[in-house]
Amino acid sequence: MNEVMRLEKKYALDQFQASSLRGRLEQVMHPDPHNGARGYLIRSLYFDTPDDQDFMDKVEGLELRRKLRLRIYDPQDSFAMLEMKQKQGPYQKKRSLRLARRDALALCRGDYSPLLQYREPFAGECYGLMHCRCYRPKVVVEYRRQAYIAQENHIRLTLDSGLKTAEACMDLFSKNLSRHYAMDPYQAILEVKYNGFLLSYIKDLLNDAHRPEVTISKYCIARRLSMGIRA
Highest mean pLDDT among 121-125, 147-151, 154-158, 194-198: 121-125
Cβ(44)–Cβ(134) below 8 Å? no
Question: E strands within the chain?
Answer: 2-14, 30-31, 40-48, 64-72, 79-88, 91-100, 136-150, 155-166, 180-181, 187-194, 213-214
Quote the pLDDT of residue 231.
52
Instruction: Flag the least confident range among 23-27, 130-134, 171-175.
Output: 23-27
If one compares 209 and 20, the residue with the highest pLDDT of the two is 20
Quote the pLDDT of residue 230.
55
The fourth-level CATH superfamily of domain 2-227 is VTC, catalytic tunnel domain (3.20.100.30)
Query: Can you tell me the distance from the alpha carbon of 127 to that of 93, in angstroms, rounded to the nearest whole number?
Result: 19
Query: Can you tell me the distance from the alpha carbon of 114 to that of 98, in angstroms, rounded to the nearest whole number?
Result: 12
- The pTM (predicted TM-score) of the whole model is 0.94
**Does residue 229 surpass a pLDDT of 70?**
no
- Provide the β-strand partners of residue 3: 95
**Does residue 210 surpass a pLDDT of 70?**
no
Per-residue model confidence as pLDDT tens digits over 181-190? 999 999 999 9
